[in-house]
Structure 1
Amino acid sequence: MKIAKIVSNLLCVSVLSLGAIATVSAHDNAYFDSIKSANGGQTRMAGVYHFELVLAKGSKEAKENPITVYVTDHASKALATAGGTATLTIVQGKNKSTVTLLPSGTNQFTGKGVYASNANFKGALTVTMAGKPAEQARFTPFAPVKAAPAKKEAEHEHHH
């Protein structure tokens, strides 16, 4: 009976381990690049966080443009950025700059940086949430993902 219990426990641990490995592998860069992001940016995972980097669309020339980083957990729940800090190091060709991003809104860091919106954009994001260790994510090559479509009301819905 004791051997049967040990074998049963080992099987449970094996199944749980495989589930954890599958979950982790599902969150690699290729996975994030294959799904639609909530705000039309590119999503990366670092630690327990998902960071979605949203850049200005259609800026062909390097100029000052807005930068927004949305912070969520693995269940896509918005995480408060108040008290946190963030920087984004931008590399495009021979140009390199670091932008300080400030907490904004519920789960955002925002700022402005000089960049062109193209596939040549490379970014290294460092985020320190309040009371937590710093996490880093790399956005290279940057490839914006189409935003998830908004839900449409039923075409024949009757309103009073």
Structure 2
Amino acid sequence: MKKLMAFVAMAAAVAVSGNVWAHGDKPKHGGIVQSASDLGFELVNKDGKATIYVEDHGKPLSTSGATGKLTVLNGAEKTEIALEPSGENALVTKGEAKLAKGTKAIAAVTFADKKTVNVRFPVK
């Protein structure tokens, strides 16, 4: 009986727990969230522009002085688009980003302290 009660309690805990987000990796802007180098990145595609929001443990991380590029892979097609700082913790593409379903996007971001982080986003 004790085993049954323990199993029921465990099953109930799993059922009500919902999704677990590491480092607060829940989308805040409706995009795709990934982690790399202990930082959170959210890729948002809106009106042909891609924006990447950067956070450190749920807090905005300044992108002032950062540079980067977004590489979009769609089958055999490869497109590279420069990223520039925009706002407190965002990087935005300088050109149009075609992020269709099934493409993969790889962001290479170099922060002001010269630390480079690569992060991969599967577009669903």
TM-score normalised by length of structure 1: 0.58
> Which residue identity lines up with residue 75 of structure 2 in the other structure?
G
Counterpart mapping for 1:36-51 below 5 A: 36-51=26-41
Give the conservation status (yes or no) of the 8 Å contact 1:56–1:117: no
1:116, 1:139 → 2: CA distance? 10
2:120, 2:110 → 1: CA distance? 15
Q: Deviations over 1:27-85 (max 9, x none)?
A: 49xx95xxx4000011111113111001137xxxxxxx1010001111x1111101011
Larger Rg: 1
Give the conservation status (yes or no) of the 8 Å contact 2:67–2:109: yes
Q: Deviations over 1:104-156 (max 9, x none)?
A: 011000013341432x110111111111420111112x23xxxxxxxxxxxxx
Identify, as 1 or 2, the structure richer in strand.
Answer: 2
Counterpart mapping for 1:29-40 below 5 A: 36-40=26-30
In the alignment, which residue of structure 2 is the partner of 1:115? 98
Give the conservation status (yes or no) of the 8 Å contact 1:81–1:129: yes
In the alignment, which residue of structure 1 is the partner of 2:44? 54
Give the conservation status (yes or no) of the 8 Å contact 1:68–1:110: yes
Q: CA separation of 1:116/1:47 partners in 2, compared to 1, >3 Å: closer, same or farther?
A: closer
RMSD between aligned residues: 2.1
1:103, 1:45 → 2: CA distance? 19
In the alignment, which residue of structure 1 is the partner of 2:51? 68
- After the TM superposition, which parts of structure 1 deviate over 4 Å for at least 4 consecutive aligned residues? none
Count of aligned pairs between the two proteins: 103
Which consecutive residues of structure 1, in runs of 5 or more, have no partner in the other structure? 1-25, 58-64, 144-160
In the alignment, which residue of structure 1 is the partner of 2:85? 103
Secondary structure class of the residue paired with 1:83: coil
